[in-house]
Structures are given as structure tokens and as C-alpha cells.
Amino acid sequence: MSRDTHTLPFGVFSETPDGPRRVGVRVDDLVLDVGALDLPHAADFATASLNAFLARGRAHWDDVRARLQELLAQGTDHLLPLAGLTLHLPVEVADYVDFYSSRHHAENIGRMFRPDSPPLTPNWTHLPIGYHGRAGTVAVSGTPVVRPSGQHKAPTDDVPTFGPSRRLDIEAEVGFVVGTPSALGTPVPLGDLAEHVFGVCLVNDWSSRDLQAWEYVPLGPFLGKSFLTSISPWVVPLAALADARVPAPPRETPVLPYLDDAEHPWGLDLELVVTLNGQEVSRPPFAQMYWTPAQQLAHLTVNGASLRTGDLFASGTVSGPERDQRGSFIELSWGGAEPLTLADGSTRSFLEDGDTVTITATAPGPGGTRISFGEVTGTVQPAR
């Protein structure tokens, strides 16, 4: 059986839970111990994150990728079975920004939250809306999802109350990992995405909809989002996704020049799959995202904000036009008014303790193959 030597996603592993961490590259159901190879700057790979490697920039990323493909073609003894290894957070996250770039998701939320107003706010088709999250609560797939507590107030309540979230949700997203930093005061243009972004991971931006609804006016997401964001342990290099690039969907609103991506189309044809307790509930299509990662990065830096190695920016919830393409339970259950019925006859509007949510994704690869992004998963635990 031929091995996948094209995708080559990077991560961090240890052979025991508390053992020394080092950089690995996944090859099917094996992990190539990169730190054991004779590569330039080999010390970068005997570390607890990808950051040292990422900081060296695109030319070095490409050189290492080419050398790994050569070594795998020749045969190497430094392959370990994935089963039994412990996987860790692949990057030391510097800053975390989450966008709101699916038109279908934004319109659904707008119809639910603002039924007497247009579903999109006036700025939505002019710029990628986003917020700064809490980098310290970005964690690797498999980290327990402890139900958050905080203030919530239903429209019929006179005063807010405190307690565990009753409307715990997911957001199926795609994340982009920055390697090469930028100088403070210098915007990053659309065409430079691949010079700064090393690769792509999967993201679940766990969300407490009742905490969020009470706190987000007028400054936006805060405690309803900051308790946990899960990412997949493997980062797929942007260089592996040439066959997945597609134009963005048509836009009826002209954009300002710094967001005009006619010459830099960075839509990606990724198909996400969301499962709840092993049952598929949604297939969100990333190709239909209104704002691309190149536009997100350009807007993120247009005011002169600098990039740092390890920065993570996420797409926002990925949703399509059909019910079974929605990337959050608030959409799938339409705010709880239309609960999902699962195969065992149970229903869900939002997550219950003990529920496990897993997000996977694939993309077109060379020669009709499919690239896998692994998975990001989490199981809900009771509030503490």
C-alpha cells in the first residue's frame, strides 16, 4: 500500500503522556519522528511546539517538506505507530482571532436574534468581522469540555442569574496558523498569505449561547467563548492544498482595494463533517465561505497590527444553505425551536453532559486523492 507523502501534516507528540515532546509528521497511521532526522536546524524539532520551525519562514518550510518527501521515498526507520502516542497542542498560540465569515451562518444568527431587522449588519459584506479571543484557552483535541458557568438572563427574567450554561454549543471552524511574523505598522497584503501562514487545522470554538446572549452587547463575545477552543493536533501545510483552492462565492457588494481578491483567490474546497456521539449531524462546506483566509489576514493587519509566530486565526462557523450543512447546534435546532432527533430516538437542541462532538474534514488532493485533516474532538463534562 502506498503511503501519503503529499499531505505531511506537522504536530507534536510524546511516546508517553509525560515523556519528552518532539515534532512529528503524520504519514497515514504512522508518525515520522522528524527530530531523529538529519535536517537543517534539527534542534527546532526536539521541542514542545512547532514555533521554532515555523519562525524560519516559507523557504525553510518548503526545503524541509521536499527533504521529508525524499526520505520517505527512500525509506526510513524513524516511523512510529500513531496508536499509543500522546498528541499535544502543536503550536504555542501567540494571539487568537476568530472571524464570522460564513454568510449562511451570519444570516441564520441574524434571523434568530434580530427577527425585525435585516439578517446581516450593514458592515458585514464590506469587511470580515472578527473578535480577539483568549489564546491561553486554546487546547488540543481531546481536552475535556468543562461546562462553563456565568450570568444568563432570559428575556422573561427580571434580573440575571448565575449558574452552568444551559445552551452549550459548538462552532465547526477552520484555523490558520501563522509562522512568519510581520512588523508592527506594516499591513500584510492579500498576495502574501502563503508567506506568513504555514498551515491549516480544524477548530471547535465551543460557545455558551446563554452567557453570550446576555453579555455580548455592546462589545461582543467574552466569557461565552473564552472557556475553551479546541484545535486538531495536526497542522496541514498550506503547500499541500494547491488542488483545494477555489474562487470565493460571488459577492454583490464591491469591496475596498485591500480586500479585492480577484488576483488572489484563496477559497478552499474543504468538506467538514460534524458528529454527535458517533452520529453524523452536519456536513458544512468551507468552499462557500464569503470571506477567504487571505482577506481575513489582510483585514487583521490593515491597521498595522503585527503578526507573531504561533498566531491562530479561525474562519468562524462554517455553514451552508441546507439544514444538514449548519455548523452549530443553535442553527441545527433553530435556537432550540426545532430539536434534532438522533438515531436512538433522543433529541438535542444544545449539548448535554457526556456528549462527544467530533469534527473531521477532507479536501481534494493530487490525482483525485483526498487529503485528511484528522479530527478535533471533545466530550462535555459537568460544571465545576
Residues recognised as catalytic: 105
- What does the CA dihedral 25, 26, 27, 28 come to, rounded to 10 degrees? 180
Phi, psi of 332 (to 5 degrees): -60, -35
* Cβ proximity of 152 and 161 under 8 Å: yes
Nearest to 48 by CA among 86, 76, 84: 86
- Which residue type, as a one-letter code, is found at position 354? G
* Inter-residue contact 289 to 267 (CB < 8 Å): yes
Report in angstroms the alpha-carbon separations of 296 from 62, 159, 198, 205, 292. Answer: 24, 38, 15, 17, 6
Asked if 286 and 271 count as a contact pair (C-beta separation under 8 A), the reply is yes
* Residue written as grid cell 503585527: 306
Q: Where are the alpha helices (DSSP H) in 285-378?
A: 293-301, 329-332
Q: β-strand 161-164 against 96-99: which pairing, if any?
A: unpaired
- C-alpha–C-alpha distance, residues 226 and 98, integer Å: 11
For residue 26, which of 201, 239, 238, 234 has the smallest C-alpha distance? 234
How far apart CA 302 and CA 128 sit, in angstroms, is 12
102, three cell numbers: 460564513
C-alpha cell of 187?
A: 499591513
For residues 239 and 8, is the Cβ–Cβ distance under 8 A? no
What cell was used for 139? 487546547
The answer to whether residues 236 and 260 touch, using CB atoms and an 8 Å cutoff, is no
Here the cell at position 190 is 492579500
Q: Could you tell me whether strands 271-276 and 267-268 are parallel, antiparallel, or unpaired per DSSP bridges?
A: unpaired
